[in-house]
Structure 1
Amino acid sequence: MRYLKVVVQDRRQEGQADTVKLNFFQRDPDLPDELVHEAVALDRTADGAVDFQSTGDIDFDGATTLKDRRLLKNFANQALKLSWSNKGEVAARSIDLYVSRFNKAGMAVEVRTDFYQHKNSAGKDELVHSTTASDHNGAGILQPSGHDDQCELFDTVDEKAILALSKLYLEFNWH
Structure 2
Amino acid sequence: MRYLKVTAQDRNRTGKADTVHFQFYEDELLTRETMVTATDSGRQPLVKLARTYLKLGWLNVGDGSERYLQIFAQNPVSDGTPEAVRLHFHDGSLPPPGSTIAYKASALDRDIDGRFELILSSDVDNDGRADRTDRSRVKSLALEFLKLNWH
- The answer as to 2:36 corresponding to 1:41 is yes
- The answer as to 2:88 corresponding to 1:93 is no
Give the Å deviation of 1:145.
3.3
Instruction: Give me the TM-score of the superposition, normalised by structure 1.
Output: 0.72
User: What are the superposed Cα offsets for residues 6-42 of structure 1, whole Å, 9 maximum, x if unpaired?
Assistant: 0011111111121110000112xxxxx2110011000
**Contact 2:19–2:36 (Cα < 8 Å) also in 1:** yes
Q: State percent identity of aligned pairs.
A: 27
Structure 1: gaps of 5 or more residues: 28-32, 45-49, 52-65
Instruction: Find the counterpart in structure 2 of residue 72 from structure 1.
Output: 46
Cα distance change on mapping 1:160 and 1:145 into 2, 3 Å: closer
Over the residues paired in the alignment, what is the CA RMSD in angstroms? 2.6
Instruction: Give me the TM-score of the superposition, normalised by structure 2.
Output: 0.82
Cα distance change on mapping 1:116 and 1:169 into 2, 3 Å: same
Aligned counterparts, 1:137-152, within 5 A: 137-148=111-122
Q: 1:111 aligns with which of 85, 89, 96?
A: 85
Greater Rg by CA: 1
Structure 2: gaps of 5 or more residues: none
User: What are the superposed Cα offsets for residues 108-134 of structure 1, whole Å, 9 maximum, x if unpaired?
Assistant: 1100000000127x9320011011101
Instruction: Find the counterpart in structure 2 of residue 172 from structure 1.
Output: 148
Cα distance change on mapping 1:86 and 1:143 into 2, 3 Å: farther
